[in-house]
Amino acid sequence: MAFELPNLPYDYDALAPYMSRETLEYHHDKHHLAYVTNGNKLAEDAGLSGLSLEEVVKKSYGTNQPLFNNAGQHYNHIHFWKWMKKGGGGTSLPGKLDAAVKSDLGGYDKFRADFIAAGTSQFGSGWAWLSVKNGKLEISKTPNGENPLVHGASPILGVDVWEHSYYIDYRNARPKYLEAFVDNLINWDYVLEMYEAATK
């Protein structure tokens, strides 16, 4: 199945001032598009263009690094756009998620601190994650385009800590970007949707 660039699920101005139109134009229209274009070419060269995106990500991990980089980033960004919304964030999580964050992660405040710390401490480009592994929530970080799918977990929330995601709006202040993401952008309804799919 050929990769396709999805439209943003909101207007380019919707996430301001936490994420600007200029950031979204570069990040979605140029960076994500490049992963789609390169991923399609590399998947075709590898004879894997008939597989689902998740299958391409898992199959190319450790065997075809250029394809993995692009397919992984395509997967990550499809969800990244949906993990944000205008008026998102905040401490009021949907009931089922709230209970899981309490029992598995020690509560919302600890989740917030640990998730931001994962993103801050990822050296260089990468992602911070909230995933489900063996039925439980866990926080992790990965370099470059890697994601929890290749570590036996199901990602339900991720934040891009490549400089292209924050440098226009926050310059080098990655922690400020991560705080704004958690406090003002997270679309908890979509996180819940992925949590329910991962735990059913």
Indicate the residue among 14 and 199 with the shorter CB distance to Mn ion: 14
The minimum distance between CB 12 and Mn ion, in angstroms, equals 16
The minimum distance between CB 8 and Mn ion, in angstroms, equals 13
Separation between Cα atoms, residue 3 and residue 101, nearest integer Å: 33
Q: How far from chain centre, in Å, is Cα 81?
A: 8
Site for Mn ion in 145-174 (CB under 5 A): 160, 162
The CA dihedral of 80, 81, 87, 88, to the nearest 10 degrees, is: -20
The minimum distance between CB 29 and Mn ion, in angstroms, equals 12
The minimum distance between CB 70 and Mn ion, in angstroms, equals 12
Asked if residue 148 lies in contact with residue 155, where contact means CB atoms within 8 angstroms, the answer is yes
The minimum distance between CB 165 and Mn ion, in angstroms, equals 5
Indicate the residue among 162 and 190 with the shorter CB distance to Mn ion: 162
Site mask for Mn ion (CB under 5 A), range 52-91, x = bound: ----------------------------------------
CB closest to Mn ion, residue no: 160
Indicate the residue among 160 and 169 with the shorter CB distance to Mn ion: 160
Place of tokens 């999580």: 93
Site mask for Mn ion (CB under 5 A), range 33-52, x = bound: --------------------
Indicate the residue among 73 and 101 with the shorter CB distance to Mn ion: 73
Asked if residue 135 lies in contact with residue 121, where contact means CB atoms within 8 angstroms, the answer is no
How long is the chain? 200
Which tokens hold the place of 120? Answer: 């801050």
Indicate the residue among 57 and 105 with the shorter CB distance to Mn ion: 57
Residue 134: strand, helix, or coil: coil
The minimum distance between CB 134 and Mn ion, in angstroms, equals 28
Residues 135-151 as b or e (16 or more Cβ within 10 Å = b): eebbbbbbebbbbbbee
Strand partners, 132: 137, 154
Indicate the residue among 59 and 164 with the shorter CB distance to Mn ion: 164
Instruction: Give just the sign of the alpha carbon dihedral 76, 82, 86, 90.
Output: negative
| Chain residues that interact with Mn ion, rule: CB under 5 A | 160, 162
